[in-house]
Structure formats: structure tokens, C-alpha cells
């Protein structure tokens, strides 16, 4: 079998992979890129972008329900088929436009997941290919649940492409994906149950705020079953029956759909990394500050699949740039994890940036914690929302904000104000002197640092 050679072979066509490939080809290197799915990556085709298109219709229904009897006579009826058609205008063009862009850069394309057969060789589409450098940018994939009847489980791809909404649904896992879809389905009138092995949803977010969020969702009919483990799934005539165990008791629950939302893991299983001496773990491919494999100097990893990443598209692009730069110029540019805000698009939204309360208190001698319930504040009352809360951490020695956690309808935007303030080492006094639009959720941020429990 004849071996084809490239300077750089990129595995994965999302933002990280595309960025690396472009950087390398612009430097005059020969480059190829492969993907086992449509070119364009998760976020643009089956992740953040289409999800947000769908969620805005849930937001419309939710806000209408909040204002019923206060001026809104009847909540709008959503034509889900039309919603899906609209969403498709964002996703359908991505694979073709991505391939066109890469081909114009004279990058060779392969439509399969490769397998490593040595430290510098792969097999893909029945061809043996060698490269000076490989870049792994395969992202995340859903965690596999090994239970009887697992074949009946649906995943986020299915949810994003539903032709009609189910009457009832059970989610196995209450992390980012599960909670966002939980909100969407419940706002649309579906009966929703959340089953999780942990003692609460959204374990990486502040417990004080998560309690407000879960209570709000419970008032909308969502059932939370924590410390429970799925055992099996059985197909019935119209429904599916899930058997689960909780507190040494076996129980069952029925629903029209059962969704695996137990989290996502680095997508490396198909690559045979051990044959290339590439070390990996639960966090992904183990890399150094140059995005280079710690065990194979000719392999780089970037984006969600790298051990230094968080699931955020702009961060993937930054890592892709650094990997490409170091391949072209030698290892001269280090990746330093920036201050990254995170958001869960529930209603209200829950967002965080910087340290948790526990982390802040472990790092600084004296920490001032501001926390409170803002549901009686003007912005919450005018929208008739029942959950609006915050927690802010201040390093008392420097008077700088070191952590911010928000639960509000505008948290996805207002958390960025805290991120900006923290990046610029702004003190509380300087922050309070800023003038924001009024009345606004941004202006409320100053009031959050006036009193505490």
C-alpha cells in the first residue's frame, strides 16, 4: 500500500481543527483534514447554535406565561415544524460552506475517522497516510450508558431535530445539556423528569443559585430524582419504561422519550491512540502548555478533546491558533487558560466566572461574600419571575472581584460585565462608580455588592 504524506494532518473539522489547518496551510505546509461526521463541528451543526435557535421559542412561551393575566391574554402557540425549518437555515449550509472554504485553501479532505497505526501513520478511507505532525481536534461525544435497553436512549442530536415534541420525557443526567433541554421541554408543556446519580443538578455551579433554579423548575412541573441510577429501559406500546434504583429500592417511570444527558467525554475511542504513544485520560489528550502531546512530540491536541480545554467555542479557536502557531514556528507560544465565563441557558439563566466560594476562600486569607435573593427587585417584579439571585466574592485585601455567580434572565450578558471587570482587576469601588443604563439587569450588578446575608 502506497503511503501519502502531508506536513500536517488534522483530525476534526470544528473551530479548533479549522483554525489549526488554516494557520498551517497559510505558512506553506501541506495539510489534510478528516472528520467522521459532517464538516463544520459540533457547535455550528448539532450544538450551541441550533440549540439557541430552538431555546428562543421556549423563552417566548415562558415570558408569555409569566405575564398571563397581567396583560397577556393567551400564550402563543408554537409551530414546531416551522421552528425546525428555521433552525435548518443555520445548520444545513455549514458542511458545504466549510468544505468549500477548506478546499479553496487547497486542504485535502477525508470523510472518516482515522486510526493510528504507528507514531506517525494513520489509516483513513482505506489509505495509509503519514505526516510530520498530527493535530487531534475531535471534540466531545455523548457518554455511553451501559444499561439494558440502552439502544432506546435518545441523545442531543435527536432533540435538536425532533419533528414534534413528546408529551413526556425523562432525562438521565442533569448537567448543561440536560438542564437546558429540561427547561425547553417544560416551557413547551411537556412533562419532564430529571434523574441524576448526584445529589443535585449542575454540580459544577454554585449550590446557592442552583437551589433557586431547581425550585423554579419544580413550580413549572419538573420532577427531580437525585441519587438515582438507571438500570434498564423497556419499550412499551407508546411509552418507554425506565427502571432505576434509589436508596436500595427499585422504581420505574414511564415516558414517551428517554434521553441520555449524562454528559460528554473526549472523542478519542476510534483513534487507537495507544499505537501512536499518545497518552490520554478523562480530561482528554494530555498536552503541555504548547498544546503538544506529553508523550508524542509530533502530535498536538486542541479544543474540547485536549486536557487543557473547557467546552467553549472561542477557547477552541484560541487553542487551535496556538497549536498551529507552534507547529509552524516551533514551540514558542504557550496557552494560558483565560478567565472564561460559563452559562447554562435555562430560565432564568445561570452563569459563573472566576472562583467559587470554596476556591476563593482557599486562595485568599479574607474573602467578602455578597449573596442574595433579588426576586423582589424591580427588574424581577416587572417580568414576574420567581427566581433571581447572585453570589459575588471579593478579595478583601485588594478589594477586587474574584468570583461572580448569577441567576437571572440576562445572566448570559451581564456575566460578561463581571468578566471584564475581573480581567481588568477592577476594585469594588471603581465598579460601583461606573454608570450603566437604567433600569437594567446590568445596573443591578452594583446593588449586588451593597449587602449580604
Give 338's pLDDT tier (boundaries 50, 70, 90): confident
Residue ranges and CATH numbers for the domains of the chain are 3-142+265-329 (3.50.50.60), 150-262 (3.50.50.60), 348-447 (3.30.390.30)
Measured between alpha carbons, how far is 184 from 169 in angstroms, rounded to an integer? 11
Assign residue 199 a region: left if phi > 0, alpha if psi is -120 to 50, beta otherwise?
A: alpha
Write the pLDDT tens digit of every residue in 89-142.
999 999 999 999 999 999 999 999 999 999 999 999 999 999 999 999 999 989
Give 453's pLDDT tier (boundaries 50, 70, 90): very low
pLDDT value at position 193? 98
Residue among 34, 4, 38 at smallest CA distance from 21: 34
Phi, psi for residue 396 in degrees, rounded to 5: -65, -30
**Cell 434521553 found at:** 259
Measured between alpha carbons, how far is 225 from 258 in angstroms, rounded to an integer? 14
What is the reported pTM? 0.92
In this structure, what C-alpha cell is assigned to residue 169? 420525557
> Which helix H or strand E contains 414, and what residues bound it?
helix 411-423
pLDDT value at position 313? 67
Number of helices (H) and strands (E), helices first, in the chain? Answer: 14, 23
Q: What residues have CB less than 8 Å from 345, skipping those under 6 apart? A: 51, 52, 55, 180, 183, 412
pLDDT value at position 135? 97
Output Rg (C-alpha) for the chain, integer angstroms.
24
Phi, psi for residue 47 in degrees, rounded to 5: -140, -125
Amino acid at each position: 500500500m502506497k503511503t501519502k504524506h502531508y506536513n500536517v494532518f488534522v483530525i476534526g473539522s470544528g473551530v479548533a481543527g479549522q483554525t489549526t489547518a488554516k494557520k498551517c496551510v497559510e505558512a506553506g505546509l501541506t495539510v489534510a483534514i478528516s472528520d467522521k461526521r459532517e464538516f463544520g463541528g459540533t457547535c455550528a451543526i448539532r450544538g450551541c447554535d441550533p440549540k439557541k435557535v430552538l431555546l428562543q421559542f421556549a423563552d417566548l412561551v415562558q415570558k408569555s406565561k409569566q405575564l398571563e393575566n397581567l396583560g397577556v391574554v393567551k400564550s402563543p402557540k408554537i409551530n414546531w415544524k416551522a421552528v425546525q425549518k428555521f433552525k435548518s437555515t443555520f445548520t444545513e449550509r455549514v458542511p458545504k460552506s466549510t468544505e468549500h472554504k477548506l478546499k479553496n485553501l487547497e486542504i485535502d479532505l477525508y470523510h472518516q475517522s482515522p486510526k493510528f497505526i504507528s507514531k506517525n501513520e494513520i489509516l483513513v478511507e482505506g489509505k495509509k497516510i503519514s505526516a510530520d505532525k498530527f493535530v487531534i481536534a475531535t471534540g466531545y461525544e455523548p457518554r455511553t450508558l451501559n444499561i439494558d435497553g440502552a439502544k432506546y436512549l435518545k441523545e442531543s442530536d435527536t432533540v435538536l431535530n425532533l419533528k414534534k415534541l413528546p408529551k413526556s420525557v425523562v432525562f438521565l443526567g442533569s448537567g448543561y445539556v440536560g438542564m437546558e433541554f429540561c427547561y425547553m421541554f417544560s416551557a413547551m408543556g411537556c412533562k419532564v423528569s430529571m434523574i441524576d446519580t448526584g445529589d443535585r443538578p449542575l454540580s459544577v455551579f454554585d449550590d446557592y443559585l442552583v437551589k433557586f433554579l431547581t425550585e423554579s423548575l419544580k413550580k413549572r412541573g419538573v420532577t427531580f430524582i437525585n441519587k438515582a441510577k438507571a438500570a434498564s429501559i423497556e419499550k412499551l406500546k407508546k411509552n418507554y419504561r425506565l427502571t432505576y434504583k434509589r436508596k436500595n429500592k427499585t422504581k420505574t417511570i414511564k415516558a414517551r422519550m428517554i434521553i441520555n444527558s449524562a454528559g460528554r467525554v473526549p472523542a478519542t475511542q476510534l483513534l487507537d491512540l495507544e499505537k501512536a504513544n499518545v497518552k490520554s485520560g478523562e480530561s482528554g489528550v494530555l498536552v503541555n502548555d504548547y498544546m503538544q502531546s506529553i508523550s508524542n512530540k509530533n502530535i498536538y491536541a486542541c479544543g474540547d478533546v485536549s486536557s487543557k480545554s473547557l467546552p467553549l467555542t472561542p477557547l477552541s479557536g484560541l487553542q487551535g491558533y496556538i497549536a498551529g502557531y507552534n507547529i509552524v514556528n516551533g514551540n514558542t507560544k504557550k496557552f494560558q487558560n483565560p478567565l472564561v465565563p460559563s452559562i447554562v441557558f435555562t430560565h432564568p439563566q445561570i452563569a459563573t466566572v472566576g472562583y467559587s466560594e470554596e476556591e476563593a476562600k482557599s486562595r485568599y486569607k479574607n474573602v467578602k461574600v455578597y449573596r442574595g435573593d433579588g426576586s423582589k427587585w424591580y427588574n424581577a417584579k416587572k417580568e414576574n419571575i420567581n427566581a433571581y439571585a447572585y453570589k459575588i466574592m471579593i478579595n478583601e485585601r485588594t478589594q477586587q472581584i474574584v468570583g461572580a455567580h448569577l441567576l437571572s434572565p440576562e445572566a448570559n450578558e451581564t456575566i460578561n460585565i463581571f468578566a471584564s471587570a475581573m480581567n481588568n482587576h477592577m476594585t469594588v469601588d471603581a465598579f460601583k462608580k461606573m454608570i450603566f443604563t437604567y433600569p437594567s439587569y446590568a445596573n443591578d450588578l452594583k446593588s449586588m455588592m451593597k449587602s449580604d446575608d
